C-alpha cells in the first residue's frame, strides 16, 4: 500500500492500477542476498528465521495481487470487459493451486513407490523434483491457471505428502537454487544494469531508495508492535528486505505484454530497485549482522531478551540439517 502511494506521488502518469502493480512487484524479499545474515550464528535464531521464512512466503503471496493489478491495467488501458478479466484472475488463482497440489500429491506418491521398489536412485529423485515443478507450471498454464502459483503449491504439497523425498532433495535443491539465483543476477548485471544506468531518472532512483528503506521499514515496525523487540531489531529486520529474483521474474512477466501502458516504465523502476538492493544489501550483510549481534548480547542486568527466546530452529540449508541431526548423515 505504501509503495502504491509513493508511486502515485512520484509518477503522476500512473493510474492506481499501475501504481499498485509497481508496489506489488517490488514488495517480495529475497533471502539469497541476505544469506550471510540468515546463516550467521551471531544473529538470534528467531530473527534469522523471521527473515528467511518471510522471503520464502511473500513471493508466492504476491502473485495473486500482481495478477489482479495486471488485469486492472488491461481494463483501464483498453476499455476491456471487466467481467472477462475478473474471470481470468479467478481462474489464475484457483486453478493454479489446485493443479500444484494435484501434481505434488501424485508426483510424491509415484516417487515414494519408485524409491520403495528401488526403481530409481537418489540422482533421479533429485531430478524428479525439477520435473514436478516444470509439470506443475506447464499443466497450470495449459488449463488457464497460474504456473508460478502452481509450482509454489506443488512444493508445499510435496513437503506434506512426501517428507522423506524432500529430505533427499534438500542438498540438491540448495545448490541448484543458488546456481539459478546467481545466473539470474548475472543476467541482471550484464543486460539490465546498463539500461538502468542510462535511463533511470531522479524520481526512479528516489522510489527505489524509498522502497528499500522507509516503505519497507514502516510496515515492519507496525507489524512487530507489542512484541517487546529492541529498536535495533526493528531496524535490522526492516532493512534486510532485499529485492531479487522474485521482482525480476514479475517484472519480466510484465514486460512480455507490450500492450500494457507504462509497462516499460514499471520494468525500469523495478530493475533499478533490484540493482540498488544487490549492492546495498550485499555489501551491508556481514557488517550489519555483527553490529546487530553485538547490540543485543545479554548483559548482567538483562533478565530476558525476546530476540533470544528459545525456539525450534529450522535448518536453513542441508548442512545445518545434517549437523543438527534433523537429516541423517549419508
Q: Where are the beta strands (DSSP E) in 75-125?
A: none
Least confident stretch, 20-34, 202-216, 262-276: 20-34
Place of cell 500482481: 66
Least confident stretch, 174-188, 212-226, 300-314: 300-314
Distance CA 35, CA 37 (A): 5
52: confidence class by pLDDT, cuts 50, 70, 90: confident
Q: 317 vs 295, which has greater pLDDT?
A: 295
Structure-block grid coordinates of residue 265: 516504465
pLDDT score, position 164:
75
Q: Can you give the pTM of this predicted structure?
A: 0.77
Structure-block grid coordinates of residue 161: 505428502
SS3 of residue 236 by DSSP: helix
Question: Does position 152 have pLDDT exceeding 70, yes or no?
Answer: yes
pLDDT score, position 159:
84
Among residues 195, 203, 183, the alpha carbon closest in space to that of 22 is found at 203
pLDDT score, position 322:
45
Length of the chain in terms of residues written: 330
Question: Does position 319 have pLDDT exceeding 80, yes or no?
Answer: no
Query: What is the pLDDT of the chain when averaged over all its residues?
Result: 84
Least confident stretch, 22-26, 252-256, 326-330: 326-330
Mean pLDDT of 87-95: 78
pLDDT score, position 149:
85
Mean pLDDT of 229-233: 90
Amino acid at each position: 500500500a505504501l509503495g502504491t502511494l509513493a508511486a502515485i506521488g512520484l509518477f503522476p502518469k500512473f493510474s492506481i492500477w499501475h501504481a499498485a502493480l509497481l508496489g506489488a512487484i517490488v514488495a517480495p524479499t529475497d533471502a539469497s542476498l541476505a544469506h550471510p545474515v540468515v546463516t550467521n550464528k551471531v544473529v538470534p535464531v528467531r530473527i534469522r528465521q523471521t527473515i528467511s521464512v518471510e522471503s520464502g512466503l511473500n513471493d508466492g503471496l504476491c502473485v495473486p495481487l500482481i495478477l489482479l493489478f495486471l488485469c486492472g491495467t488491461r481494463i483501464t488501458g483498453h476499455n476491456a470487459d471487466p467481467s472477462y478479466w475478473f474471470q481470468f484472475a479467478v481462474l489464475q488463482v484457483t486453478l493454479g493451486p489446485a493443479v500444484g497440489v494435484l501434481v505434488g500429491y501424485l508426483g510424491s506418491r509415484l516417487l515414494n513407490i519408485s524409491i520403495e521398489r528401488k526403481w530409481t536412485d537418489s540422482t533421479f529423485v533429485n531430478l524428479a523434483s525439477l520435473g514436478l515443478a516444470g509439470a506443475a507450471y506447464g499443466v497450470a498454464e495449459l488449463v488457464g491457471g497460474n504456473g508460478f502459483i502452481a509450482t509454489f503449491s506443488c512444493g508445499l504439497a510435496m513437503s506434506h505428502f512426501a517428507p522423506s523425498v524432500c529430505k533427499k532433495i534438500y542438498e540438491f535443491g540448495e545448490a541448484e537454487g543458488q546456481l539459478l539465483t546467481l545466473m539470474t543476477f548475472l543476467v541482471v548485471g550484464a543486460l539490465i544494469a546498463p539500461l538502468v544506468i542510462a535511463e533511470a531518472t531522479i524520481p526512479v532512483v528516489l522510489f527505489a531508495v524509498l522502497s528499500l528503506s522507509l516503505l519497507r521499514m514502516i510496515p515492519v515496525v507496525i507489524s512487530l508492535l507489542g512484541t517487546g523487540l529492541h529498536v535495533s531489531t526493528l531496524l535490522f529486520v526492516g532493512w534486510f528486505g532485499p529485492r531479487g529474483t522474485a521482482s525480476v521474474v514479475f517484472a519480466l512477466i510484465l514486460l512480455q505484454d507490450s500492450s500494457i501502458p507504462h509497462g516499460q516504465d514499471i520494468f525500469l523502476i523495478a530493475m533499478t530497485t533490484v540493482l540498488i538492493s544487490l549492492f546495498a544489501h550485499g555489501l551491508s550483510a556481514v557488517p550489519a549482522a555483527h553490529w546487530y549481534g553485538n547490540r543485543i548480547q545479554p548483559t548482567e542486568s538483562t533478565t530476558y531478551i525476546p530476540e533470544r527466546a528459545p525456539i525450534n530452529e529450522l535448518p536453513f540449508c542441508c548442512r545445518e540439517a545434517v549437523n543438527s541431526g534433523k537429516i541423517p548423515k549419508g
